[in-house]
């Protein structure tokens, strides 16, 4: 499942990069995916929305409905 998560992150990175940010896969333990937001995303007030309503929601649809995304610094 981790490889599917990593592949999905690589798919969405160009979109996030086009807005001046970036996302990096850090780790996965059980159903918890830890991601690091970089660039403009680090200080963007909408970063939490992007993380949970964008990335997490799509991961749940495409990989597993049990996944949870956490932001790490």
Residue 56: the pLDDT is 95
Q: What's the chain's Rg over C-alpha atoms?
A: 11
Yes or no: say if 65 and 19 are a contact pair by the CB < 8 Å rule.
Answer: no
Element (H, E) at 66: none
* pLDDT at 5 > cutoff 90: yes
* Class at the top of the CATH hierarchy for domain 2-72: alpha beta
Q: In this structure, are residues 8 and 63 in contact, taking their beta carbons and an 8 Å threshold? A: yes
Q: Could you read off the pLDDT of 9-64 as tens digits, one per residue? A: 999 999 999 989 999 999 999 999 999 999 888 888 888 888 889 999 999 999 99
């Amino acid at each position: 499942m981790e490889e599917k998560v990593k592949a999905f992150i690589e798919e969405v990175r160009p979109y996030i990069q086009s807005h001046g940010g970036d996302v990096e896969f850090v780790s996965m333990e059980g159903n918890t995916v830890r991601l690091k937001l970089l660039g403009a995303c680090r200080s963007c007030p909408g970063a939490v929305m992007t993380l949970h309503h964008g990335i997490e929601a799509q991961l749940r649809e495409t990989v597993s409905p049990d996944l949870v995304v956490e932001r790490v610094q």
